[in-house]
Copies of this chain bind each other. A is one copy, B any other.
Amino acid sequence: MATNPSSTVVRAWARLVKAQQFAQGAIESRLKAARLPPLAWYDALLELERPGTCGLRPFELERALLLSQCNLSRLIDRLENAGYAGRRVYEQDGRGQVVVITAAGKSIRRRMWAVYGPAIQGALGAHLTPHQAAVLDELLGAMVAKSTAHQGRRAPLVAEPAPLHVRPAAGSTNSPTAQRRRLRPASRRAARRPS
């Protein structure tokens, strides 16, 4: 376990970092140029839209997004201030919450995908043949799976990144079952339009 990596593994690691930084930089700057929210918002909104309309507990989002608890809490703040998500009390456990996506959240996610999708293609897809993409996908998938299973000290991580990106998401915007029992501190930061 404490052995040194081969030079191939080291080079692969260096390139993994560079490739990710490069692609993320390009994507992030395209979103910014379109005056859209950052990537992290998209990921969160996508997760929230995924499981029907029931919403997600913050700690579930935390694992799905690989975020620390405190940062997730503040990300939800921002989404809430922007009107893209809302907090509901979790009836079965007074400590807990359920985070739900709003209609505006669904809308902005779709608008982001219109930029995000082509940006992925430009940063990754354009440089790979379909076969290369499949091989890369397989290798990285195996790595992620082993990482989460093996040394999964932080969190189990979401099982699959999953390709879902545009979906009807049948159901009403607000869950009628959540009765809004008022959330605890509620001393949230002042709202700021993401403009």
Chain A residues with CB under 8 Å of chain B are: 1-26, 66, 117-118, 120-128, 130, 132-137, 139-144, 146-148, 150-151, 154, 157, 161-163, 165
Q: Which of B4, B15, B124, B151 contacts A12 (CB 8 A)?
A: B124
**A147 and B123 within 8 A (CB):** yes
Q: Which of B22, B130, B137, B142 contacts A144 (CB 8 A)?
A: B22
**B143 and A139 within 8 A (CB):** no
Chain A interface SS verdict (over half)? helix
Q: Which of B2, B19, B118 contacts A118 (CB 8 A)?
A: B2
Q: Which of B4, B11, B120 contacts A13 (CB 8 A)?
A: B120
**A126 and B17 within 8 A (CB):** no
Given A22-B144, A126-B146, A126-B150, 14 more pairs with CB closer than 8 A: A9-B120, A9-B121, A10-B165, A11-B137, A12-B136, A13-B120, A13-B123, A15-B137, A16-B16, A16-B23, A18-B161, A25-B154, A124-B143, A132-B142
State whether A139 and B150 are in contact (beta carbons under 8 Å apart), knowing that A5-B120, A117-B4 are contacts in the complex.
no
Alpha-carbon distance A133/B16, docked complex (angstroms): 11
**B125 and A5 within 8 A (CB):** yes
Residues of B within 8 A of A130 (CB): 6, 8
State whether A26 and B151 are in contact (beta carbons under 8 Å apart), knowing that A7-B163, A139-B136, A163-B10 are contacts in the complex.
yes
Residues of B within 8 A of A122 (CB): 1, 151
Q: Can you spell out 30 A-B residue pairs with CB atoms less than 8 angstroms apart?
A: A4-B121, A5-B125, A6-B130, A8-B134, A8-B137, A9-B133, A9-B137, A10-B120, A10-B163, A11-B141, A11-B162, A11-B163, A12-B124, A12-B136, A16-B23, A16-B124, A17-B20, A19-B144, A21-B66, A22-B66, A22-B144, A22-B157, A25-B66, A25-B154, A26-B147, A127-B147, A128-B143, A132-B139, A136-B139, A136-B140
